[in-house]
Amino acid sequence: MAVKYNADGNTFILETRDTSYLMKVSRYGNLLHLYYGERIPDENLDYLIQVCDRGFSPNPNEAGNDRTFSLDYLAQEYSTDGKGDYRIPSIEVVNGDGSQIFSGKVSGYRIYKGKYALEGMPSLKAASRDTVDTLEIELRDKESGGTVILFYSVFEEKNIVTRTVRFVNNGSEAIRLEKLASVTMDFKDSDYDFIVFAGRHTMEREFTRIPVQSGVHSVGSSRGASSHQYNPFAIVCDGGAGEDHGRCFGYSLVYSGNFAIEAEKDQFKQLRINAGINPQDFSWTVNPGEQFQAPEAVLAFSGEGFARLSHLYHDIYRENLCRSPYAKKPRPVVINSWEAAYFDFDDTKLLGIAKQAVDMGVDLFVLDDGWFGKRDDDNSGLGDWKVNLKKLKRGISGLSEEIHALGLQFGIWIEPEMVSEDSELFRAHPDWCLKAPGRPMTRGRNQLVLDLSRQDVCDYLIEAVNGILHEAKIEYVKWDMNRSISDVWSGLLDAGRQGETLHRYILGLYHVMDEVILKHPEVIFCGCAGGGGRFDPAMLFYQPQIWCSDNTDAKNRLKIQYGTSFAYPINTIESHVSVCPNHQTGRYTPLKTRGIVSMDGILGYELDSTKLSEEEKAVCREQVKFYKKNYRLIAEGDYYRLASPYENPYFTAWQHVSKDKKKSLVSLVLTDKEGNDAQRYVKLKGLDREAMYRIEGQKGRYSGALLMNAGLPVPYELDEYESVSFCLRRI
């Protein structure tokens, strides 16, 4: 099995094909972390636990006069609270007597085949051919009865370990949780970099590398969604690690709400990582006999740099996360009406765009915002999910019929979680919003947030959205969320339980998606939150693709998609060709470049097709044809970042390689051009060193070793923002 218990050493051993994870029960019952990394022989690692008398580091009562044993410096698997470990804790509680102490000692364990399941929250699932074993370890606080159950599922062949935590109140008094991390990992050293993916609306997931310094560095979200500002994914790596070398540890949280990832370099130059629900604005009362479940964390280790780490996450998320049958199917090429028409449209205008899109080779027409209620701008109508017959004379069903008659599929935009004050829904149910009594409301995009912690609100949304899907033939839905959450207060929770609201909101959202998205497997759902504000694994559980960013500028997208690719598969990134000058930046980039950048994801179009010339439509047809020809390679191949937009000022390049190394697609965008420029080269990756390859459409043959070591010249004739993309085949 991939999970073993060594009774002689009181040690738990988790093994994947290439990694080992070891922990040990101390002589006093504490669960200590020993090792996680490259697979090692089954040896006694007790020598790694070095104990000594540390000044001002207290000793637990059970240690008696042994002043060498202190939780203040020992590497723990899940830390205590209030018992002499002064580093960032895994758990924070308020017990019935007001004390803030949790001292969890190992009180039991079990090992079994298969993957644990989480009720009401997304998590990975074992595929039919996977070998997965699970370990549960119980840590009980004897005095309060509070119990932490640590879950570990080991995907042996995929080199993945998932972790989660369940808190159970086995005592006689209520316990209030104020923090419950999904994962804690202690390192015995700290010579690492901490990599996070920061940003803002229209510039999400920017690669940010920080050398670990003394103190605490924390990133996360308090906005009610995983956010544009930070992503629930981080890497701890060797200081010199790069794409192809160095140790890298990945931490990915399967959660769509407020989260925190913390890194602390302590007084003894050790590193602790915590990841879980953000303790800010969080509390949860667990009554006797009740329990609380934390989200899942997905851990991966690479001893061969970032590319290998990305491949591990790409493979597990492609195969073991998304429930949509479209996760394994080619996606249609869509054209979206937003940047083509915004709110200013009627049947005639939409059909004109759709007719021209047919000539571009597009498969599906998406009607974006503005088709429902009194919705002529973004100040009204949200919540009223009834078609606006002034704009669509024959309604959604009539428009759908006409779109299908053209040979296209049909999709729509919705924003179920929000409501406008100028709406029938708000006038009927003002209490359905998140807003504190007696306080003025905070608006975002002039809209309010529905309280999805309430069952009646969830029931309304389930009925309303399902009603739309039953009204017409709809093959695609863009599910949006266009503001951060504030004024958090729920009318159905007592004053002492308002800290539960935001997590209950997320559980309500998952429930709605269970009843809408999972009940319509024939529909492609595309996630969106003002673009990439909720690009997280939990959303991929429901939606096979996510609108990567509201920024459609091809040059900016190089950075956005670069950062996204570290954890997320390329076939989850929806990316569209838009017009020039770009609506966000005003920049001009060639149509060819916009297409190549968009094909580094799921190709689509975000423009008014009626304004394209015949020559431009011909270019689009060729893009679609090329994309469909290479879809499997793009969607399922291994992905390599060849030149970083952060480190290489001259060009950005990337590569897709089929699993059998027979085929590869290389793409490059020139981002800076100098007078009398130097000749530059791009070195390929992932090829068979011994095999010979031919570039399609060119003469010559090259060994994989040559292409990866000497590289290929960047075409000298390329101008700034121009691009090239070519396929290689093994011969």
Residue bearing the bigger pLDDT, 55 or 450 = 450
pLDDT confidence of residue 501? 98
Tokens standing for residue 256: 């769509």
Q: Which of 308, 317, 314, 318 is nearest to 38 (CA)?
A: 308
Cα–Cα distances (Å) from 452 to 41, 133, 367, 460, 561, in that order, read 50, 35, 26, 10, 31
pLDDT value at 89 more than 90: yes
Annotated catalytic residue, options 81, 141, 369, 550: 550
pLDDT in tens, 144-178: 999 999 999 999 999 999 999 999 999 999 999 99
Q: Is 550 a catalytic residue?
A: yes
Pairing of strands 638-643, 602-606: unpaired
End-to-end CA distance of the chain: 41
pLDDT value at 65 more than 90: no
Annotated catalytic residue, options 186, 480, 553, 608: 480
Please, which residues have CB within 8 angstroms of residue 287's CB and are 6 or more apart in sequence? 169, 174
One-letter amino acid for residue 49 of the chain? I
In DSSP terms, 175 is beta-bridged to: 286
% pLDDT > 90, the chain = 98
Report the length, in residues, of the chain: 731
Tokens standing for residue 173: 């008094």
pLDDT in tens, 176-211: 999 999 999 999 999 999 999 999 999 999 999 999
Give the mean model confidence (pLDDT) for residues 304-314: 98
3-state secondary structure 142-154: CCCCEEEEEEEEE
d(CA 454, CA 109): 36
Phi-psi region of 119 (alpha: psi -120 to 50; beta: other; left: phi over 0): beta
d(CA 679, CA 650): 11
Q: Which domains are seen in the chain, by residue range?
A: 3-320 (2.70.98.60), 332-635 (3.20.20.70), 640-730 (2.60.40.1180)
d(CA 585, CA 569): 27
pLDDT value at 718 more than 90: yes
pLDDT confidence of residue 710? 98
pLDDT confidence of residue 569? 98
Q: Which pTM value belongs to this model?
A: 0.97
Q: How many CA atoms lie within 13 A of 261 on its CB side?
A: 22
Decide: helix, strand or coil at residue 237. strand
pLDDT confidence of residue 254? 98
Residue that is written with structure tokens 């059998």 in the block: 660
pLDDT confidence of residue 382? 97
pLDDT in tens, 570-625: 999 999 999 999 999 999 999 999 999 999 999 999 999 999 999 999 999 999 99
Cβ atoms of 253 and 295 closer than 8 Å? yes
pLDDT in tens, 411-462: 999 999 999 999 999 999 999 999 999 999 999 999 999 999 999 999 999 9
pLDDT value at 316 more than 90: yes
pLDDT in tens, 375-386: 999 999 999 999
Q: Is 480 a catalytic residue?
A: yes
pLDDT confidence of residue 491? 95
pLDDT value at 470 more than 90: yes
Cβ atoms of 667 and 653 closer than 8 Å? yes
d(CA 417, CA 395): 23
Q: What are residue 293's phi and psi, to 5 degrees?
A: -105, 125
Q: H-helix or E-strand containing 178?
A: strand 175-187
Q: Is the dihedral of CA 449, 455, 459, 460 positive or negative?
A: negative
